[in-house]
Chain A
């Protein structure tokens, strides 16, 4: 219990600190902080499914994009916050629908399937947009940067809370049992299929809502951009850099990647992709248990 209250206190402090950014910082600072929160929210959600069950999703961009598309369809007819909720409900439902067939395959097959699913949905949306006679949608007159920032801050906090409590619940223990040995988990009486589908849906809702909010930041919707596979790859990279199946991993990973990206991009625009790639390789080879693993080992050593 003391662990929970300490966590909640820490989270409250972090949220309060972030809430000050729009008051103290300029638009550029808000932009960077917003990016950071976005990746934290996306990766925390991914952790609930992929780090806990071992079912690695390489298609989480599909929820980000589908959420954005839901926002596009609601834009102008529903208020901002309601559209974000609709987007979350829509992507949760999408995950429930596709989750059951998808989660019947394992290992590399599941990885490829999620990737393929994301590409499939992308091209469906491209074709629907073409059939509707839309050529890249402009979303003028939406909420300001600070308003989007607060929404994404709330979403990041929600994703952190979800990961924390799932990790420490019976449900979370079941998910990790599935990761270690799915047959054994089943013989222990865990409803494996239901658990996996629930985890899938749970990991889809926040990314959908984040996508809905972020498309209003760019004020422009083009399927190629919103369903960009790079989004999925970045989530997995952050999770690997951060390490572990708990809350700190994605936070460390996102902090590292976002700050590094800003630093390299601003100072060495010509070579930043090369440097970033090199850093990622170095990380995977040199620190396979991620920043979280290192910090935990260091703490243990200090007693």
Chain B
């Protein structure tokens, strides 16, 4: 009898251990790695990407976990600071793949770092849904492990912008361009696009990425008296443009600032002075046909006590939405995941996403404008949430 009890006890114990063991493996968290630009040139702009990632992770975990082909598993992040340095980002993704052995990867911030990691993820055949980047170069190379949900590809963006400028009655324009890859690529397409639209380029100047003052080049712009000013900036130098333009008195009614006005920090610095600035962007919570856009904006505000920006925060969230839906279908197997991402239409806060090659072909290219503290889509006409306005004079 004693023996039976002992056996039964042992059996129960063993069973409990086995069950416990099984439960533990099913609930093993999914490890998701990425590099963050916590310091360096991109630090200010990269924050909202990180906030979107974390918002998503918390939402997943609150809902019991990420659905991995039918099994709910908690989400755990592994991330390192890349110091806004492409070389560092490459080492980090190498480490994430080969040493940390993460299950999934998220994208770093910006086109430079996306281009930099493209080689590593190609080498290890590790699919990554990009977000805050677009490059015609990668489209040409036919990369098979990275995709861009954005429609801000420099060639298309340039054509759309030229059409808008023409519509605003612009005949002459000045262009100042940061020497970083994304802005340079944009420049190389907008110059012929303007010419084709019959807009004369009266100033065309470059400046280095770590520029500290733009007054000299903006004075040159002022003297040329163009109808429109195109500042192809990154967020840090966009601040210099705004200050410089006000100082030298650039009062053009059409001013395009490529990257900067979308961000919350820009709003905090310039407030109402942002009004009327044209910028890139294809997302706004004002679009009624994307109901989850508003839900996302509210959740972001509730979590971070600040509004999401209009480019990176939504794009980062779109990229995890895509990954989430692909993983629910395909699990964590890299080949299945790649095929699923490449061949599925996803529902996101930025409308449907469907990839052909590296590009999202479901989303048209658009131009936005800051109006009354928010960002509206103003071009092309069938996509817009508001009419474009003339930029008020600086105060």
Contacts and interface: CB of A to CB of B under 8 A. Distances in A.
B116 interface: yes
A27 interface: yes
Interface in B92-131: 94-95, 97-99, 111-112, 115-116, 118-120, 122-123
Contacts of B91: 31, 35
Contacts of A144: 123
B94 A126 contact: no
A27 B86 contact: no
Nearest to B94: A31
Nearest to B90: A218
Contact of B85 (A26, A135, A225, A266): A225
Q: How many interface residues does chain A have, given as a range?
A: 20 to 34
Given A222-B86, A228-B85, A265-B80, A138 B118 contact: yes
A134 B141 CA distance: 14
Contacts of A217: 90
Given A130-B179, A269-B79, A218 B87 contact: yes
What does DSSP make chain B's interface, helix, strand, loop or mixed?
Answer: helix
Nearest to B142: A140
B136 to A, nearest CB: 9
Residue of A26, A218, A220, A222 with most partner-chain B CB within 10 A: A220
Nearest to A131: B206
A190 interface: no
Nearest to B209: A224
Contacts of A35: 91
Interface in A192-208: none
Nearest to B36: A269
B121 to A, nearest CB: 10
Q: How many interface residues does chain B have, given as a range?
A: 35 or more
Contacts of B240: none
B86 A220 contact: yes
Interface stretch (B16-24, B182-190, B280-288, B303-311): B182-190
Interface in B159-202: 179-182, 184-185, 188
A218 B86 contact: yes
B206 to A, nearest CB: 6
A240 to B, nearest CB: 22
B90 A220 contact: yes
B155 interface: no
A17 B182 CA distance: 43
Contact of A269 (B81, B120, B179, B185): B81
A219 B118 contact: yes
B94 A219 contact: no
B188 A133 contact: yes
B119 A222 contact: no
B291 to A, nearest CB: 37
B141 A219 contact: no
A139 interface: yes
Nearest to B115: A136
Contacts of B119: 138-140, 218-220
A219 B120 contact: yes
B98 A222 contact: no
Interface string A238-282: 000000000000000000000000000110011001000000000
Contacts of B90: 217-220
Contacts of A273: 39, 81
Contacts of A298: none
B137 interface: yes
Contact of B115 (A26, A145, A220, A269): A220
A265 B79 CA distance: 11
Interface in A95-152: 123, 126-127, 130, 133-136, 138-140, 144-145
B141 A136 contact: no
B138 interface: yes
B95 A136 contact: no
Contacts of B209: 224
A27 B81 contact: no
B86 A31 contact: no
Contacts of B6: none
B188 A135 contact: yes
B158 to A, nearest CB: 14
Contacts of B97: 27
Nearest to B117: A220
A31 to B, nearest CB: 6
Contacts of A138: 115, 118-119, 137-138, 141
Given A138-B118, A218-B87, A265-B80, A28 B98 contact: yes
Contacts of A126: 179, 208
A225 B113 CA distance: 11
Contact of B99 (A28, A218, A225): A28
A140 to B, nearest CB: 6
Contacts of A218: 86-87, 90, 116, 119
Interface string A37-77: 00000000000000000000000000000000000000000
Nearest to A269: B80
B141 A225 contact: no
Contacts of B94: 27-28, 31
A122 B150 CA distance: 31
- Return the 3 tightest CB-CB contacts between A and B, nearest first: A219-B119, A136-B181, A135-B181
29 contacts: A26-B99, A27-B98, A28-B95, A28-B98, A28-B99, A31-B91, A31-B94, A31-B98, A35-B91, A126-B208, A127-B179, A130-B184, A130-B206, A133-B184, A134-B184, A135-B180, A135-B182, A135-B184, A138-B115, A139-B119, A140-B119, A140-B141, A218-B86, A220-B118, A222-B115, A222-B181, A266-B99, A269-B80, A273-B81
Interface of A: 26-28, 31, 35, 123, 126-127, 130, 133-136, 138-140, 144-145, 217-220, 222, 224-226, 228, 265-266, 269-270, 273
Given A220-B116, A224-B209, A269-B80, 10 more contacts: A26-B98, A27-B98, A28-B95, A135-B182, A136-B111, A138-B137, A219-B118, A220-B115, A222-B181, A228-B87
Interface of B: 39, 79-81, 85-87, 90-91, 94-95, 97-99, 111-112, 115-116, 118-120, 122-123, 135, 137-138, 141, 143, 179-182, 184-185, 188, 206, 208-209
